[in-house]
């Protein structure tokens, strides 16, 4: 007998028929003798619909009220799924995030889980009940409803699995596992049997939204066995593991991630003197804007061009800050570009393979794609390119690193 936490995403509970199918699956597992905690998202499209409703009232609505509103999406699905389970003779009980006592900090819209009280859940499990918990939400110490950020139900699932010491956290979604890249962009993308936490963390943070990044962090920290699988078809899915099979030859690159979430800003012709980077980025960080890539050119005439990228949501704020300091820094101009994309190759195998970056750059050059910025870490190389070439770049890299070829699989037998 195992204790399983099963999380079902928006598409998997998108209609009454899909909710009935989830109830069938949960009751099958229950009949096998497993203890089940289910975490559900709002029905697909519902969170977006609620955001639009709020915006139609006020373009900058109160963050507290926004969380009260958004948490209702998940409250609908927990009740419907519990009803569908009870109809099948399965004893089930639904809980919102605050009822289950998921305590978070007070950062509305991006709250972090601080504590989970498992006592009530233990009582239910001991009584043979299936517990159905609303994902993506909790409450702060004052009882205010909070939400965990888009895609946050993944994190609720993993956090509950960690708190309950579950045997596995299963993330059921609309694809049958983690692929070498988004299968909606590259037809020949291949499902991975296994991927390491480190790689999954990079993939998630570089744009693969199949798992919310915080859920991967959580699973790595608390050693929660994590699996991504399809709620539509049966299969083994993808297991996220601690550094895989040491006996296997690792391919250099395991996956390709991409996103359009960034924007680029450049201060032209600033004096190349000590302290300039901090005078530019100080006000940016004071405004709570996170900077991703940074490039400062070597100068010949005593001036330099200073370029950095930020999330697209922060782009206008960052631009107005630069306009404000441009004069006092003696810069020639501020240039910006929001039509960029970041494409990244990820793989723990890079540690032991030379020439990975040059293969990447050659593949992009062969497609005449110009690289605007580059950043690297031990297990990834990211480039910023023109947004309109993003899908072409992803396909070219997928083929350059032979990711469709099953022989290259990270740990395929």
Q: Which member of 151, 152, 347, 409 binds ligand ADP (CB under 6 A)? A: 151
Binding region for ligand ASP (CB under 6 A) out of 25-33, 100-108, 109-117, 148-156: 148-156
Q: How many helices (H) and strands (E) does the chain have?
A: 11, 20
Contact between 181 and ligand ADP by CB under 6 A: the answer reads yes
Query: Which lies closer to ligand ADP via its Cβ, residue 12 or residue 411?
Result: 12
Q: Which stretch binds ligand ASP (CB under 6 A): 152-160, 240-248, 280-288, 321-329?
A: 152-160
Q: Would the annotation count 173 as a binding residue?
A: yes
For residue 212, the minimal CB distance to ligand ASP (Å) is 7
Picked from Mg ion, ligand ASP, ligand ADP, none, the partner binding residue 254 (CB below 5 to 8 A depending on kind) is none
User: How far is the C-alpha of 367 from the C-alpha of 382, rounded, in Å?
Assistant: 17
Can you tell me the distance from the alpha carbon of 323 to that of 321, in angstroms, rounded to the nearest whole number?
5
Interaction residues for ligand ADP, span 35-94 (CB under 6 A):
41
Q: What is the DSSP string of 68-121?
A: HHHHHHHHHHHHHHHHHHHHTT--EEEE-TTTTTEEE-S-TTS--EEEE--HHH
Smaller CB distance to ligand ADP: residue 40 or 322? 40
Q: Which residue is nearest to ligand ADP (CB)?
A: 9
Q: Return d(Cα 108, Cα 106) in angstroms, integer.
A: 6
CB of 212 to ligand ADP, least distance (A): 8
Among 6, 75, 96, 153, binds ligand ASP (CB under 6 A): 153
Q: What are phi and psi of 392, to 5 degrees?
A: -60, -45
As measured in angstroms, the least distance from the Cβ of 137 to ligand ASP is 9
Residues in contact with Mg ion, shown as a per-residue x/- string from 334 to 373 under the rule CB under 5 A:
----------------------------------------
14, 151, 237, 409: which one binds ligand ASP (CB under 6 A): 151
Single out the residue of 208, 215, 210, 255 nearest to residue 228, CA to CA: 210
Q: Give, in order, the Cα–Cα distances in Å from 228 to each of 97, 149, 162, 172, 294.
A: 22, 20, 16, 6, 34
Pick between residue 20 and residue 174 the one whose CB is nearest to ligand ADP. Answer: 174
Interacting residue with ligand ASP among 8, 95, 136, 258 (CB under 6 A):
136
Instruction: Please give the size of the binding site for Mg ion, defined by CB under 5 A.
Output: 2
Ligand-binding annotation for 222, yes or no, is no
Which residues, at least 6 apart from 284, have a Cβ–Cβ distance to it below 8 Å?
A: 291, 308, 310, 318, 321
Instruction: Tell me if 174 contacts ligand ADP by CB under 6 A.
Output: yes
Long-range contacts, stretch 215-221, CB < 8 angstroms, 24+ apart: 215/154, 215/155, 215/157, 215/158, 215/171, 216/158, 216/240, 218/113, 218/155, 218/158, 218/159, 218/162, 219/158, 219/161, 219/162, 219/169
Q: What does DSSP assign to residue 167?
A: S
Rounded to a whole number of angstroms, the minimum distance from the CB of residue 213 to ligand ASP is 12
Give a three-class secondary structure readout of 328-391: HHCCCEEEEECCEEEEEEECHHHHHCCCHHHHHHHHHHHCCCCCCEEEEECCEEEEEEEHHHHH
From ligand ADP, ligand ASP, Mg ion, none, which one binds at residue 157 (CB under 5 to 8 Å depending on kind)? none
Closest C-alpha among 73, 33, 31, 28 to residue 50: 73
Task: Tell me how far, at minimum, the Cβ of 68 lies from ligand ASP, in Å.
Answer: 14
Contacts with ligand ASP in 35-64 (CB under 6 A)?
Answer: 41-42, 47
User: Are 2 and 168 spatial neighbours (Cβ–Cβ below 8 Å)?
Assistant: yes
Identify the sign of the CA torsion 246, 248, 252, 255. negative
Phi, psi (degrees; rounded to nearest 5) at 145? -70, 135
177 assigned binding-site residue? no
326 is in an annotated binding site: no
For the segment 148-187, give every residue that binds Mg ion (CB under 5 A): 151
> Which stretches of the chain bind ligand ADP, using CB under 6 A?
9-12, 41, 151, 173-175, 178-179, 181-184, 208-210, 255
Which residues are part of a known binding site for ATP?
Answer: 7-10, 173-174, 179, 184, 209-210
> Which stretches of the chain bind ligand ASP, using CB under 6 A?
9-10, 41-42, 47, 73, 135-136, 150-154
Which residues are part of a known binding site for substrate?
Answer: 47, 74
């Amino acid at each position: 007998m195992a204790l399983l936490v099963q999380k079902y995403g928006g598409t998997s509970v998108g209609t009454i028929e899909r909710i009935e199918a989830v109830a069938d699956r949960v009751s099958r597992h229950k009949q096998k003798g497993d203890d089940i905690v289910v975490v559900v998202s709002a029905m697909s499209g519902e969170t977006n619909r609620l955001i639009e409703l709020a915006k139609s009232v006020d373009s900058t609505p109160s963050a507290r009220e926004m969380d009260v509103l958004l948490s209702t999406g998940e409250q609908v699905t927990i009740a419907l799924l519990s009803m569908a389970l009870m109809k099948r003779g399965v004893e089930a009980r639904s809980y919102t995030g605050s009822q289950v006592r998921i305590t978070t900090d007070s950062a509305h819209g991006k709250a972090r889980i601080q504590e989970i009280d498992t006592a009530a859940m233990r009582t239910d499990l001991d009584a043979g009940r299936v517990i159905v918990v609303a994902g993506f939400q909790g409450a702060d110490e004052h009882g205010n409803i909070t939400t965990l950020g888009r895609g946050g139900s993944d994190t609720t699932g993993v956090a509950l699995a960690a708190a309950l010491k579950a045997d596995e956290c299963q993330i059921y979604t609309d694809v049958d596992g983690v692929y070498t890249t988004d299968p909606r962009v590259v037809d020949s993308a291949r499902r991975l049997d296994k991927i390491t936490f480190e790689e999954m963390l990079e993939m998630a943070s570089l744009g693969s939204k199949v798992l919310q990044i915080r859920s991967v962090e959580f699973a790595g920290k608390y050693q929660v066995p994590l699996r991504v699988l399809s709620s539509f078809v049966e299969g083994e899915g993808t297991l996220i593991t601690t550094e895989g099979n040491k006996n296997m030859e690792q391919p250099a690159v395991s996956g390709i991630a991409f996103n359009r979430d960034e924007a680029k800003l450049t201060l032209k012709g600033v004096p190349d003197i000590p302290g300039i980077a901090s005078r530019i980025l100080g006000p940016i960080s004071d405004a709570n804007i996170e900077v991703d890539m940074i490039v400062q050119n070597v100068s010949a005439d005593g001036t330099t061009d200073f370029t950095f990228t930020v999330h697209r949501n922060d782009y206008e704020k960052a631009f107005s800050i630069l306009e404000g300091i441009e004069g006092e820094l003696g810069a020639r101009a501020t240039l910006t570009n929001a039509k960029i994309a970041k494409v990244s190759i990820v793989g723990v195998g890079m540690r032991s393979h030379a020439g990975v970056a040059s293969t990447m750059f050659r593949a992009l050059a062969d497609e005449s794609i110009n690289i605007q910025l580059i950043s690297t870490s031990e297990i990834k190389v990211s480039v910023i390119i023109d947004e309109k070439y993003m899908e072409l770049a992803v396909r070219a890299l997928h083929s350059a690193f032979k990711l469709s070829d099953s022989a290259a699989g990270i740990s395929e037998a």
